[in-house]
A and B are shown apart, each in its own frame.
Chain A
Amino acid sequence: GQQVMQIPQYQHVQEGEDFTTYCNSSTTLSNIQWYKQRPGGHPVFLIQLVKSGEVKKQKRLTFQFGEAKKNSSLHITATQTTDVGTYFCAGLNNAGNMLTFGGGTRLMVKP
C-alpha cells in the first residue's frame, strides 16, 4: 500500500531560525496536503498542492510539490514560538479516496 515518510521526526530550533520538513511517498500522489497539530490539539489544514512542481506561500511558510509528485517540503522562515507543533504531510492516492499521513515532524522552538 501507499507509504508516506517524513523527516526529520523532531527538530529543535532557536526562535528566528529556519525550519524545513520533507515528505516522500512510495507512489505518485494525486495531491498532497499539509496539516499542523498543536500539542493537545487536533490536525488543522494548512494547504493543498495539486500540480507537479507547484510552490505556494503563506506568510513565512513555503510549500513545494515535487516534479514527480512523489515528494514535498514545508519551509518556515524565521520561526516563532507560535510555530510549535507537529507538521504532517498527507498524500492523496490516485483513486482520490484515501489520505495517508506521514509520520509528522515535531517542531520545538526555543525563545
Chain B
Amino acid sequence: DTEVTQTPKHLVMGMTNKKSLKCEQHMGHRAMYWYKQKAKKPPELMFVYSYEKLSINESVPSRFSPECPNSSLLNLHLHALQPEDSALYLCASSQTLASYEQYFGPGTRLTVT
C-alpha cells in the first residue's frame, strides 16, 4: 500500500468556523508533512513531523494547528481562517525526514468564505 489518503476532498468554511483536515498513511513512514499549494504555484511547506514530534514549523499562523496522534495519522486543525487561506492542502509522508521520496495525498481543496 503506497497510498496517502486525505479527507475531506473539498471543504468550504466560513471565517468563524472550526474544521479539521485528516491525513492517513499505512506505509510505516515516520515523517509526515503539510503543504499549502495555491493555483499555479509550487507546494509550500507548512509543518514537518518526525517520529510524531513537530520538527519544523515554517512560521505558519496560529490559526493552523497541526496534530500527529500516532505514526499513521496527521491532522490540521483550522480556526478563524481568512479568504487568502483558500488553497489546496497537501499531506505527504516519507520513510524518514526528507532524504527519501515523498508520497503525496490527493489534497483537500479548501475555500474560505
Contacts and interface: CB of A to CB of B under 8 A. Distances in A.
Interface of A: 30-31, 33, 41-45, 48, 88, 92, 96-104, 106
Nearest to A46: B101
A104 B42 contact: yes
A35 to B, nearest CB: 8
Interface of B: 40-45, 48, 50, 55-56, 90, 92, 97-107
Given A98-B56, A98-B98, A99-B98, A106 B40 contact: yes
A22 B50 CA distance: 31
A88 B42 contact: yes
Contacts, number: 51
B43 A101 contact: yes
Given A31-B99, A96-B98, A98-B98, A103 B42 contact: yes
B107 A42 contact: yes
A33 B42 contact: no
5 contacts: A42-B90, A42-B105, A43-B43, A103-B42, A106-B40
A59 B45 CA distance: 31
Contacts of A102: 42
